[in-house]
């Protein structure tokens, strides 16, 4: 296969995969592909520099070239904190109430995408496959085409695509989607998000869609749009099982629960994850089953994210308040019903925590996929597996229907699901686990990468 060039907002150095904070997501998904095919991972360094020197920082690690640029404070404020995370992120997660529409942040978003194109173009060789990732860089393919790039360029969206009736609230929505049609392949996590995109293209752009092939034809351009559900790095995650770090983490959790059933949630501190609603559901369970406060302990691991965005500061305050209220009402001198941890852990530690927890609680209000759900299943003991409680509105629900599916907005539904999980007999737990583990193992990140890059390589050599 041709060399691979990956472009994303942030870049993860391959050696840091197991480090705290690099939990699943884009980093775990792409490193194996880059190592296999060679190539470049380009993106923002995470650093700010007021002097726009145009310098590209290059380093080579395990066969992969890491290329990064710094952004100015204004770029970060307008492109990243502004348009990407205060406009696109809430809109794509169906949160019109949190979506901000600011002309200046939109200009900053376009400016940074233009800068990405300017800096990465000299690094791209004629036969390279170019793979752009996520909502930060929706128009980047169009910017590269404007600079004469004729390579095959693909794009993958890691978050949901909203229904047309919501998406049209975005100023200049038509222009934004037309820039996306400069890609050769556009990938989505689920069939639902794909269908929402195709509906927009037909209704708002008048595009022709071939349902059988997934081809979108608009203004003489032909693009392949398809669902590619992302998976975990199965081999890497399973390798954590026998590490001392994983065993110690499992033992720490088990010894501290004092024979209570451990229920765990691991989520970025983000309003799309439904954390306050989850705590409400747990509170409802204890209200309805006060005698079971000694049967269950909930551990919520929530590493902070996007702390400069006001809505994220608010979600942290709300979560801490709700957790404190339940603990204040239900704690005894020898127990606390909810443990809230505002930090990240390594993959090995998470493996140990998941294996020691008999219930996994994954209840986002809306999620593109959610790899934590798959990692929880992957970490279970086959002869005595735990129970996954999963939001119906996570992309993973389409692949894992044997989880206990819930409406995360309903405290009663969450409470009922927790009781089902606590009382579920071993035979049923094993049946559900065996159905899910096959999907988690087989639909892994290597297969996801191969499917996407194979389709991209199979498109016609790029147009002018």
Work out the pLDDT band at 381, boundaries 50, 70, 90. very high
pLDDT above 50 (res 464): no
Query: Residues 77, 83, 86, 88: is their CA dihedral positive or negative?
Result: negative
Q: Kindly tell me the burial class for residue 1, based on how many C-beta atoms sit within 10 Å of its own C-beta (0-12, 13-18, 19 or more).
A: middle
pLDDT above 90 (res 305): no
Task: Give the predicted TM-score (pTM) of the model.
Answer: 0.93
pLDDT above 70 (res 273): yes
User: What integer pLDDT is reported at residue 20 of this predicted model?
Assistant: 35
Question: Which domains are delineated in the chain?
Answer: 4-231+445-457 (3.40.50.2000), 234-442 (3.40.50.2000)
Pairing of strands 57-61, 387-391: unpaired
User: What integer pLDDT is reported at residue 21 of this predicted model?
Assistant: 36
What distances in angstroms separate CA 97 from CA 82, 94, 201, 277, one per listed residue?
Answer: 15, 9, 25, 17
Mean pLDDT of 182-205: 97
Q: What is the C-alpha to C-alpha distance for residues 275 and 269, in angstroms, rounded to an integer? A: 8
Q: What is the C-alpha to C-alpha distance for residues 391 and 366, in angstroms, rounded to an integer? A: 8
Work out the pLDDT band at 307, boundaries 50, 70, 90. low
pLDDT tens string 19-59: 333 434 457 667 777 887 788 999 999 999 877 667 899 99
pLDDT tens string 385-421: 999 999 999 999 999 999 999 999 999 999 999 999 9
For the annotated catalytic residues, the residue numbers are 158, 367
pLDDT greater at residue 17 or residue 366: 366
Mean pLDDT computed over every residue of the chain: 92
Lowest mean pLDDT among 251-255, 261-265, 329-333: 329-333
SS3 of residue 296 by DSSP: strand
Lowest mean pLDDT among 1-5, 113-117, 339-343: 1-5
Mean pLDDT of 313-338: 92
Work out the pLDDT band at 131, boundaries 50, 70, 90. very high
pLDDT above 90 (res 256): yes
User: What integer pLDDT is reported at residue 25 of this predicted model?
Assistant: 46
Nearest to 53 by CA among 41, 40, 71, 67: 71
User: What integer pLDDT is reported at residue 300 of this predicted model?
Assistant: 97
The alpha carbon torsion through 367, 158, 357, 317 (nearest 10 deg) reads -60
Lowest mean pLDDT among 12-16, 71-75, 137-141, 419-423: 12-16
User: What integer pLDDT is reported at residue 429 of this predicted model?
Assistant: 98
């Amino acid at each position: 296969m041709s060399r691979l060039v990956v472009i994303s907002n942030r870049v993860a150095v391959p050696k840091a995969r197991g480090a705290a904070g690099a939990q699943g997501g884009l980093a775990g998904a792409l490193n194996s592909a880059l190592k296999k095919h060679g190539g470049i991972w380009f993106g923002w360094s995470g650093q700010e520099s007021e002097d726009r020197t145009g310098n590209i920082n290059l380093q080579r690690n395990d066969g992969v070239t890491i290329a990064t640029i710094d952004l100015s404070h204004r770029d970060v404020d307008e492109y990243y904190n502004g348009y990407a995370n205060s406009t696109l992120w809430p809109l794509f997660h169906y949160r019109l109430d949190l979506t901000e529409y600011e002309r200046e942040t939109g200009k900053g978003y376009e400016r940074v995408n233009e800068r990405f194109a300017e800096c990465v173009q000299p690094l791209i060789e004629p036969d390279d496959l170019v793979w752009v990732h996520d909502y930060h860089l929706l128009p980047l393919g169009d910017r590269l085409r404007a600079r004469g790039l004729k390579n095959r360029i693909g794009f993958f969206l890691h978050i949901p695509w909203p229904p047309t009736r919501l998406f049209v609230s975005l100023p200049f929505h038509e222009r934004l989607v037309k820039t996306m049609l400069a890609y050769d392949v556009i990938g989505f996590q689920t069939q639902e998000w794909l269908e929402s995109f195709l509906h927009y293209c037909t209704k708002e752009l008048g595009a022709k869609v071939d349902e059988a092939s997934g081809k979108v034809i608009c203004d003489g351009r032909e693009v392949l749009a398809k669902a590619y559900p992302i998976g975990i790095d199965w081999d890497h995650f399973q390798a954590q099982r026998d590490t001392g770090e994983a065993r110690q983490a499992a033992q720490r959790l088990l010894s501290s629960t004092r024979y209570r059933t451990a229920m765990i949630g691991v989520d970025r501190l983000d309003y799309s994850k439904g954390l306050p609603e989850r705590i409400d559901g747990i509170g409802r369970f204890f209200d309805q089953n006060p005698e079971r406060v000694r049967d269950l302990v909930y551990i919520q691991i929530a590493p902070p994210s996007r702390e400069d965005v006001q809505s994220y500061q608010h979600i942290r305050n709300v979560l801490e308040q709700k957790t404190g209220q339940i603990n204040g009402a239900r704690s005894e001198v020898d127990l606390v019903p909810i443990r809230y941890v505002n930090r990240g852990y390594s993959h090995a530690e998470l493996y140990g925590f998941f294996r020691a927890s008999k219930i996994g609680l994954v209840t986002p209000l809306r999620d593109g996929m959610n790899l934590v759900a798959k990692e929880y299943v992957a970490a279970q003991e086959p002869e005595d597996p735990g129970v996954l409680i999963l939001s119906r509105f996570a992309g993973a629900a389409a692949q894992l229907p044997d989880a206990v599916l819930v409406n995360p907005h309903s405290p009663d539904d969450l409470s009922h699901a927790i009781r089902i999980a606590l009382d579920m007999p071993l035979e049923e737990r094993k049946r559900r686990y065996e159905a899910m583990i096959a999907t988690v193992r087989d639909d892994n990140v290597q297969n996801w990468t191969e499917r996407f890059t194979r389709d991209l390589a199979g498109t016609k050599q790029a147009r002018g």
